[in-house]
Amino acid sequence: MSGGADSVALLRLLLELKNELGIVLSVVHFNHHIRGSDSDSDEAFVLGLAENYDLELHRSGNDVPSYAAAEHLSLEAAARRLRYRYFESLMQQGVLDRIATAHTLDDQAETVLLRILRGTGTRGLAGIFPAVEVRSEIPESATCGHIVRPLLQFRRNDLEEYLEGLAQPWREDSTNLDLKHLRNRVRRQLLPILEKEFTPAIRRRLAELAEIAREEDAYWQQTTNAVLPKVASANHVSVPQLLAQPVAVRRRVLRALTHGLGFTLEFEQVEEILALAESACGGEKRLMLGDYWCAVRSDTRLCFEKDAAPPAARDYQYLLPVPGRVHVPEIGSLFDAMLVQRGTAGENVEEMLLPDMATTFTVRNWRAGDRFFPAHSKSAKKLKELLQQNHVPQSERRLWPVVLRGDEIVWVRGLACPAHVLADKNQSRVLVIRESREGR
């Protein structure tokens, strides 16, 4: 448990029901070390709760910011990976056989909406699953426990009212107020607008959509598992067998096969592979898929192959303080984030950003699935498409730099920054991000 309202409410509810359910309760806490002393205070609060109710406490932690930078992940993704890795280790060691997390109906609605915004299929629409099996490492096929989410039908504010009725305090996470994180903007800006202007039932409807999608995805998964051995084997697909299937099955077969090979296809890549399969074949044809994977069409056979990654094409990620400078050796560039008077910033207004956007940015190379909303455009687009439209050479595209505020890309080399981060003409002090080549 984190010490927040949702997890504290879950603990108090389970304490009330433990005799009826016939369960033995303990508390699990993972310290992400994201908020310094506040994170340590959260851990102390959870420790106090466990002691107060005479419950065994299992706790661990890790430096999530450092791990996120090393693995090129967002803070949220890195925290989740490490936290669940700890949960799974407790079950694989036989310490616990169930771990209940406090995800609510609000969390479900936010997750579904986030996936819609980023682009997803029915599996993504399924959102947060009510229960997930954890597999034993030895033997691999055995189930050693489950992660369950018993509060998915409950609203967050109902749980807070429940705690207030018990006079039970909880901890507030200040990062939940930080609008540089996309989930927080969805939670505090987008969902309230949808509730007020369109339908007050939007959260429940998104949660119902997730439930429908889960059942439909389970059905399609069974269908795909039955068809896959007839169409594909190892790393290749029989083109005639693939094209004999309905389009929906073709797409799922390709996703299932490549997932087993260790990479994930985006929708556009699936469509490109299907076009390759449907095209007339005169000799070998190759389609690059990113991350050094390619699809190779040869007569009636479609194979997936991976080339070794050249040393110069590895992902990179660095923190850029404001104000401050960072060196990116992978592309031989220096990045500066400067707070300056408007008159000294130059003439390009599309480089003048809001002065209070962030204290730290992230500079990294673009990744598959990245989206960007350049000024003067009508909607966000896949960055891959924007780079293609701007005729960025394939040899340079892999390491093309972007700058993020939280999870949002706010700067891309050669593109106008998003309109909502640009400073208006009345602001005398502006933030400027500049790239320069080493030694120039």
- In Å, the largest CA–CA distance within the chain is 75
Q: In CATH, what number does 234-306 get? A: 3.30.465.60
Could you tell me the pLDDT band of residue 269, with boundaries at 50, 70 and 90? confident
pLDDT at 139: 56
Sign of the CA dihedral running 418, 424, 425, 428: negative
Q: Are 304 and 258 in contact (CB under 8 A)?
A: yes
pLDDT at 137: 62
Q: Give the three-state DSSP class for 226.
A: helix
Q: Are 416 and 350 in contact (CB under 8 A)?
A: yes
pLDDT at 308: 60
In DSSP terms, 140 is beta-bridged to: none
Of the chain, the percentage scoring pLDDT greater than 90 comes to: 50
Which are the contacts of 78, defined by CB distance < 8 A and separation ≥ 6?
A: 64, 65, 67, 68, 71
| H/E segment holding residue 324 | strand 324-328
- Listing DSSP states for 74-104 in one string gives -HHHHHHHHHHHHHHHHHHTTS-SEEE----
CA distance 117 to 194: 14
Could you tell me the pLDDT band of residue 330, with boundaries at 50, 70 and 90? confident
147-172 tens-digit pLDDT: 999 999 999 999 999 999 999 999 99
**Of 2-6, 211-215, 392-396, the least confident:** 392-396
Could you tell me the pLDDT band of residue 438, with boundaries at 50, 70 and 90? low
- Which of 334, 297, 363 minimizes the C-alpha distance to 435? 334
CA distance 130 to 103: 9
| H/E segment holding residue 284 | none
171-229 tens-digit pLDDT: 998 888 878 788 889 999 999 999 999 999 999 999 999 999 999 999 999 999 999 99
DSSP 187: I
Q: Give the start-to-end residue ranges of the domains of the chain.
A: 5-203, 234-306, 312-437
pTM, two decimal places: 0.68
Q: Are 89 and 105 in contact (CB under 8 A)?
A: no
CA distance 185 to 75: 16
How high is the mean pLDDT of the chain?
88
CA distance 88 to 86: 5
CA distance 428 to 97: 59
Could you tell me the pLDDT band of residue 342, with boundaries at 50, 70 and 90? confident
Query: Per-residue pLDDT averaged across 368-372, rounded?
Result: 87
CA distance 96 to 99: 7
DSSP 422: B
Instruction: Name the token pair of 147.
Output: 């992660």
Query: Per-residue pLDDT averaged across 391-414, rounded?
Result: 86
50-81 tens-digit pLDDT: 999 999 999 999 998 888 887 777 788 889 99
Could you tell me the pLDDT band of residue 268, with boundaries at 50, 70 and 90? confident
Q: How many residues does the chain have?
A: 440
Report the CATH fold assignment for 5-203: Rossmann fold (3.40.50)
DSSP 425: T
Residue type at position 315: D
Query: Per-residue pLDDT averaged across 237-243, rounded?
Result: 93
Query: Per-residue pLDDT averaged across 273-283, rounded?
Result: 85
pLDDT at 90: 92
Q: Where are the alpha helices (DSSP H) in 352-423?
A: 383-389, 394-397
Could you tell me the pLDDT band of residue 82, with boundaries at 50, 70 and 90? very high
Helix, strand, coil distribution of the chain in percent, nearest 5: 45, 25, 35
CA distance 366 to 358: 20
pLDDT at 347: 67
123-149 tens-digit pLDDT: 889 999 999 988 876 555 577 899 999
pLDDT at 266: 82
Instruction: Name the token pair of 77.
Output: 């993704």
Q: Are 273 and 305 in contact (CB under 8 A)?
A: no
Environment class of 405 (CB within 10 Å of its CB; exposed 0-12, middle 13-18, buried 19+) = buried
95-128 tens-digit pLDDT: 999 999 999 999 999 999 999 988 888 888 999 9
Q: Is the peptide bond before 139 cis (omega within 30 degrees of 0)?
A: yes
Tell me whether domains 5-203 and 234-306 share a fold: no
